[in-house]
Amino acid sequence: MSETDRILNARKRLLLKAEQAFGVEAVTWSDTTGGAGSASGADDSTSSLPLPRGPRKQAKPKAEPPRPKPVVDLFGNSVTATKADATPPDDPLPGEPLPVEERVKQLTVLDQTHVTGCTKCVLHETRTQTVFGEGAPDARLMFIGEGPGQNEDETGRPFVGRAGQLLDKMIDAMGLSRESVFIANVVKCRPPNNRQPTADETAACTPYLLEQVQLVRPEVIVTLGLPASRYMLNSSLSMGKLRGRWHTWRGIQLMPTYHPAYVLRSYNEKTRRTVWGDLQMVMEALGLQLPSSS
């Protein structure tokens, strides 16, 4: 073997070592004379490793890591799943319900220590005050709306404007009192000009709502309108598809229905009957006496 051949072979072995380091067992090359050849880890003359015959082997493409489950925001837009979002919606809430005094204590701490001074999203810049929510800490029924409007922003109480007055009538028609249920919203600060909360605002605020539900542990949740229904159900379906049938949220029965503000905007017998039908299903689930004629 000439000196040149020995140098060439040494180069081929070096090249092979480098390739093997990246997971390629054998390589082809073009030598300085333009001829194609192959190299193995051993000296060509004594090689016991298989020599490649075909084209250069490709490293196996690495399997893509599983993509996070798409999560939709209030408006059906996909947002990246967070750890909290990853909890399956029908996984029952952990732990036992707390004694009522403990719930009051923890709800108060949540409001005063976390929600009242919250600056987690831009809504704090334009709010007058936060609207935590209110009602019985051991309510069997919880209503969840979208977010405070002007009246709520001014008073610090949920559903006290025109939509709130209609909600009061709905609660009354069910044979319940406002004090016996719990009323909360997806976001605790009024979005400027009553626009819908953004995905970021919702993501920042909803841990408070989830904590409220966890503490109150209602038997039934009624979501009022599309944003609240979509958020709770992690769904992008329309209100027409979601409302009027039972869903489960972490072991709690959930009934979506139209938002009272929508009922006011579309104040006709059909809409009113539809909502009343949804509420009657809720009454039945709670074992409340249904009126003889609706």
Please count the CA atoms within 13 angstroms of the CA of 154 that sit on its side-chain side.
Answer: 5
Beta-sheet pairing, 141-145 with 182-185: parallel
Name the segment binding ligand URA (CB under 6 A); options: 51-59, 96-104, 140-148, 248-256: 140-148
Phi, psi of 211 (to 5 degrees): -65, -40
CB of 158 to ligand URA, least distance (A): 4
| Stretch touching ligand URA by CB under 6 A, among 4-12, 18-26, 45-53, 154-162 | 154-162
In the bound state with ligand URA, the residue whose beta carbon lies nearer, of 16 and 167, is 167
* Residue closer to ligand URA (CB basis): 39 or 135: 135
Q: How many residues bind ligand URA (CB under 6 A)?
A: 13
- Structural contact between residues 8 and 32, judged by C-beta atoms closer than 8 angstroms: yes
* Residues making up the chain, counted from first to last: 294
Stretch 47-86 residues interacting with ligand URA (CB under 6 A): none
Q: Which of 19, 134, 146, 278 binds ligand URA (CB under 6 A)?
A: 146
Rule CB under 6 A: is residue 152 a binding residue for ligand URA? yes
Q: What distance in Å separates the CA atoms of residue 86 and residue 68, rounded to the nearest whole number?
A: 9
Q: How far is CA 292 from CA 73, 280, 281, 286, 289, in A?
A: 40, 11, 14, 17, 9
Q: Please list, in sequence order, all residues whose beta carbon lies within 8 angstroms of the beta carbon of residue 266, skipping any fewer than 6 positions away.
A: none
CB of 177: closest distance to ligand URA in angstroms?
18
Q: How far apart are CA 239 and CA 154, in angstroms?
A: 29
Quick check: 147 binds ligand URA (CB under 6 A)? Answer: yes
x/- map, 163-202, ligand URA, by CB under 6 A: xx--------------------x-----------------
Please report how close the Cβ of residue 144 comes to ligand URA at its closest, in angstroms. Answer: 8
Query: Does residue 212 interact with ligand URA by CB under 6 A?
Result: no
| DSSP-based three-state secondary structure for 128 | coil
* Nearest to ligand URA of 16, 160 (CB atom): 160
Q: How far apart are CA 243 and CA 282, in angstroms?
A: 12
- CB nearer ligand URA, residue 145 or residue 218: 145
- Residue 34's contacts (CB-CB under 8 Å, 6 or more residues apart) are none
Q: Which residues bind ligand URA (CB under 6 A)?
A: 145-149, 152, 158-159, 161, 163-164, 185, 261
